[in-house]
Structure 1
Amino acid sequence: MIRPCTVAELEAAPTFADMLAEYAAESAIEGMPPPSARMETYHALSDMGALHVLAAWAGDTLAGFITVLAAPLPHYGRTVAVSESFFVAKAHRSTGAGLKLLHAAEDRARELGSPGLLVSAPFEGDLFKVLPRVGYAETNRVFFKKVSHE
C-alpha cells in the first residue's frame, strides 16, 4: 500500500533504521561524509509544507519511501518537485513498490503544480537503469569534487 505519511511515522517504523543503513550503503558518494539523516530538518521542511513524504507498506512493515521537495525555483519562476530521497528495501524491490512510489510522487508533483518530477539516481544503480524504461529522460549529469579537508 502506498500512502502519504508523516516524518514521525517513518521514524516510528521498526524497519526505518535498518532501511536508512541499507540506503546509505547503496547511495554513498565517495568524498562526501557518510549519510546521516537529520530528522529535525525533515520535520521542519514538512512543517513548512516544502517536504512531502510517501511510503510503501507491506502490512505494518515499511517497505520504502520517497520524499519530495517542492519549492519555487527562481530560474523557472515555478514550483518544481524534486525527489530528495527515494529508497525501497532490497527485500521489497520485486513487489512493484518502487514504481508505485514513483507514480505517487508524480501525482503529488502534479498536485503541487510542478511541470515534472526531477529524480536523481546513483550512476549505474538499479534506479538508474529503471528510470529510462518508465519515461524519464536523462537531462543532466551531476559531478562532485571534494573541496574540504574534513
Structure 2
Amino acid sequence: MERCMRTRPHVSGVARVHKNRTHGITSSSCFFKRVQFQVVSPSRKNHVLARPPPLHPLPSQTDMSLRKLIPLADRILVQRILPKTQTAGGVFLPETKLDKPNEGKVIAVGAGGRKADGTLIPPSVKEGDTVLLPEYGGHTVKLGDEEYQLFRDEDLLGKFT
C-alpha cells in the first residue's frame, strides 16, 4: 500500500534520482532517508508516493545453517549417512525397505567431559570420523535444510577406521 508523502520535505535529503519509463508514462523516483519515493505525475511534481519499507524477515533457517554449532562438554554433533536407495543392479528400493541409518559423520566435537575430580576426559572421536550410532537416542537439531543429531560421547557405539 502506497501513501502520499507530499508534506514531508524530500528535496534536501535526496541521495539519487532515477528516471524510468513505465507504460509510456515518465516518472522519477528518489531516495530520502533510505525510503524510495516516486513522483507519479510530471505535472504534479510535489505529489510524491512513498513505498513502504521492506519487511525484514526473522532469521530464516538458511541463516541458521550459516552459523556453526559447537557442542558443549562431551557432546558430539553427527549427521546421519543415508543408506543407498539403489542396488548394484540398478533397482531402486522403496523407503519402507530401507534400514534406519546407523552410521554418521562427526560434524563437531565438544571439549570433552569431566571426571569427578575435575580432570578433562578428551573426546574419543574427532571431526570427520565415521561412527556407529545407536538406533534410538540423541537429540535432533535442524539447521537449515539439514538435520543433525547430538549424542554424548559415551552413547556412540563405535568408530570406523
TM-score (norm 1): 0.23
Higher helix share: 1
TM-score (norm 2): 0.22
Higher strand share: 2
> Which protein is bigger by CA-based radius of gyration?
2
